[in-house]
Amino acid sequence: MTTPDCLFCKIITGDIPSRKVDEDDTSYSFLDIAPFHRGHTLVVPKRHVESFLSDPPAWAEITGAVDRVSRLLQTKLGADGMNLFSSAGAVAGQEVFHLHVHLVPRYAETGGLRNLFGPKPGAEDAELDDVWQQITAS
């Protein structure tokens, strides 16, 4: 079940456009519009769940998609590594209160984890389109 005022629920229902990377019965994955690095993707449950703390079974429902999309990003984008994280609550930095897992492909030139959380400028549409086409190409 989706919630009408939730940004991610609106993306799942198609009311807000997204660059879909993967979808199954319980999850929807799409490119982050302000990526930390090339290919930064969000994996969300289709049903509205605030966080992994508010509904632990929801985490289990999306682990298959997290694994599948991680491998897809590594294969299609040539990522050397991957960061996976999810925030629960405003104090932890959660901005959209719908459970979401960030998959951030890492490349040799991007440095370690300390280099991840600097300024996060929005990506240009052309760059998002390019990486989306690369990920979703057959």
Q: Which of 40, 48, 98, 100 is catalytic?
A: 100
Angle of CA points 124, 126, 132, to nearest 5°: 105
Cα distances from 95 to residues 18, 24, 81, 87, 121, in angstroms, run 18, 24, 25, 9, 16
37 assigned to active site: no
Cα(7)–Cα(42) distance, integer angstroms? 13
Q: Are 82 and 72 in contact (CB under 8 A)?
A: no
- Catalytic positions are 100
